[in-house]
């Protein structure tokens, strides 16, 4: 039974009727451009053939009943006033989206006095097949699928970029993760057989065709990461402080690390220990703190240049050159950003020794999750087996390896 059919069956059994709207949003794989989105930089990513379905049916009492279809746990809350909670924290992603839609409803209501859709309730359920904690952004798939289904139910026409921002704010305000827009934009703008090349300063997305003779393997280590624990937010704060330092010493405008070139980082990495990185009069200079901020900054600065070089490689069919950039990206994650882990490093190290592998790197926020590996299609089966064997030999536990397809973005799949 496929995921959508299973969701419809569970929905009918629990709520006693079919849903009014069903929406789907894919997960994503980040190919190049790690932690560059919130630094106003570039990312090459792709929507994948794993995702989340979200179904809704109307209620009239202003109550939302939300069910996680995998564990069949249900929470109830006031549709017009959702509140984040520690219990059933998975519900916060949907509550945050609902809060954003409520705000949009109220804004539009000022122009339409008969509109009061925020007061209505829904029965809702979601079900997906993205492994949790795998670094494939199950959270964004849930947010986007919920946003599409609920906005259609409320009768709201919301542009894709605006929907991505609503989903991002849900993560900021309700889940406590100051994520960028990469996950949500990739889920919404994905195209089959193509990567999404996103510019997060201008918030634009275009597609770059994937060569037909290569594919991507996802290696899920099952090492769980928890970005809410503060590691993600600490990295973001370090980048913001480093950007303020560069703005104080470079002779051109710097509003984010996108504006800093690698040669400028190399020229100033040592001198940064002499003045406060934050350029705040009240902050005490600490050489170790300054050095940490500068080391963190090296990663997104280098990543932005690797993405631009990678686009050129793809345009000229240079898959070998693109693969080298993937390996360099992982090394930067490991050394500068320190968002890798032994499981991810072991897989990338193994990939370097396996015939047929073109490139490999961690994908997503890091601190666990998955490695993405680029291989010729003809080598996919043998490389998958070799990677699985290498990982199990090292950690005495299997690693899930699967080929993924660059897929279409999110959509409403049925509207009764």
Residue-level pLDDT at 52 = 98
Structure confidence at residue 229 as a pLDDT band (50, 70, 90): low
Respond yes or no: is residue 183 known to be catalytic.
yes
Six token digits for residue 256:
């984010």
Residue-level pLDDT at 272 = 60
Residue-level pLDDT at 280 = 47
- Is residue 98 situated within a structural domain? yes
Which CATH number goes with the domain that contains 163? 3.30.230.10
Give 163-197 pLDDT, tens digit per residue. 999 999 999 999 988 787 989 999 999 999 899 99
Task: Classify residue 173 by its DSSP letter.
Answer: I
DSSP 332-395: HIIIII----HHHHHHHHHHHHSTT--EEEEESS-SSSEEEEEEEGGGHHHHHHHHHHHHHHHH
Cα separation, 274 vs 249, in Å, equals: 12
- Is residue 121 situated within a structural domain? yes
Cα separation, 32 vs 9, in Å, equals: 39
| Residues 316-338, mean pLDDT to the nearest whole number | 96
- Is residue 66 situated within a structural domain? yes
Find the domain containing 159 and state its range.
3-211
- Is residue 39 situated within a structural domain? yes
- Is residue 328 situated within a structural domain? no
Six token digits for residue 409:
């973005």
- Is residue 71 situated within a structural domain? yes
Residue-level pLDDT at 149 = 97
Residue-level pLDDT at 271 = 64
Exposed, middle or buried: residue 251 (CB in 10 Å: 0-12, 13-18, 19+)?
exposed
Domain count for the chain, please give it: 1
Computed over every residue of the chain, the mean pLDDT equals 90
Query: At residue 118, does pLDDT exceed 70?
Result: no
User: Of 11-15, 153-157, 176-180, which range is least confident?
Assistant: 176-180
Residue-level pLDDT at 219 = 95
Cα separation, 380 vs 376, in Å, equals: 7
Q: Between vectors from CA 136 to CA 56 and to CA 307, what angle results, nearest 5°? A: 125
Give 30-86 pLDDT, tens digit per residue. 999 999 999 999 999 999 999 999 999 999 999 999 999 999 999 999 999 999 999
| Residues 381-393, mean pLDDT to the nearest whole number | 97
Query: At residue 346, does pLDDT exceed 60?
Result: yes
Residue-level pLDDT at 113 = 46
User: Is 49 strand, coil or helix?
Assistant: strand
Percent of the chain with pLDDT over 90: 75
- Is residue 158 situated within a structural domain? yes
Give 126-139 pLDDT, tens digit per residue. 999 998 767 788 99
- Is residue 218 situated within a structural domain? no
Please pick, among 114, 183, 193, 400, the residue that the annotation labels catalytic: 183
**Who's near 194: CB < 8 A, 6+ residues apart?**
46, 207, 208, 209, 210, 406
Give 273-308 pLDDT, tens digit per residue. 554 544 443 444 455 667 888 999 999 999 999 999
């Amino acid at each position: 039974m496929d995921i959508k059919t299973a969701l419809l069956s569970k929905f009918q059994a629990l709520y006693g009727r079919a849903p009014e709207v069903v929406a789907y949003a894919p997960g994503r794989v980040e190919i190049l451009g790690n932690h560059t989105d919130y630094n106003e930089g570039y990312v090459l990513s792709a929507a994948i053939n794993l995702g989340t379905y979200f179904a809704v049916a109307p209620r009239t009492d202003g109550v939302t009943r939300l069910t996680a279809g995998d564990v069949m746990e249900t929470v109830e809350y006031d549709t017009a006033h959702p509140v984040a909670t520690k219990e059933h924290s998975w519900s916060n992603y949907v509550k945050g989206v609902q809060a954003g839609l409520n705000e949009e409803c109220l804004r539009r209501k000022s122009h339409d006095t008969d509109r009061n859709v925020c007061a209505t309730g829904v029965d809702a359920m979601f079900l997906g097949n993205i492994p949790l904690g795998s670094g494939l952004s199950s959270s964004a798939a849930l947010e986007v699928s919920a946003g599409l289904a609920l906005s259609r139910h409320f009768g709201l026409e919301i542009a894709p970029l605006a929907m991505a921002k609503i989903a991002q704010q849900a993560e900021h305000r309700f889940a406590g993760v100051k994520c960028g827009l990469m996950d949500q934009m990739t889920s919404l703008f994905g195209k089959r057989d193509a990567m999404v090349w996103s510019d997060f300063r201008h918030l634009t997305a275009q597609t770059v065709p994937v060569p037909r003779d290569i594919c991507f393997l996802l290696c899920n280590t099952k090492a769980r990461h928890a970005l809410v624990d503060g590691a993600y937010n600490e990295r973001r704060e370090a980048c913001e402080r480093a950007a303020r330092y560069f703005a104080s010493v470079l002779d051109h405008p710097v509003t984010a690390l996108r504006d800093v070139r690698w040669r400028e980082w190399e020229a100033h990495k040592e001198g940064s220990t002499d003045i406060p990185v934050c350029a705040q009069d009240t902050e005490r200079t600490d050489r170790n703190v300054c050095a940490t901020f500068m080391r963190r900054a090296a990663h997104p600065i280098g990543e932005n240049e690797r993405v631009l070089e990678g686009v050129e490689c793809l345009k000229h069919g240079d898959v070998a050159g693109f693969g080298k950039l993937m390996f360099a990206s992982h090394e930067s994650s490991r050394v500068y950003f320190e968002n890798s882990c032994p499981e991810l490093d072991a897989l990338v190290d193994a990939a370097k020794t396996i015939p047929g592998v073109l490139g490999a790197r961690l994908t997503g926020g890091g601190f666990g999750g998955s490695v993405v590996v680029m291989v010729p299609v003809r080598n996919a089966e043998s490389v998958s087996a070799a990677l699985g064997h290498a990982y199990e030999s090292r950690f005495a536990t299997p690693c899930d390896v699967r080929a993924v397809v660059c897929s279409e973005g999110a959509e409403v799949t049925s509207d009764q």
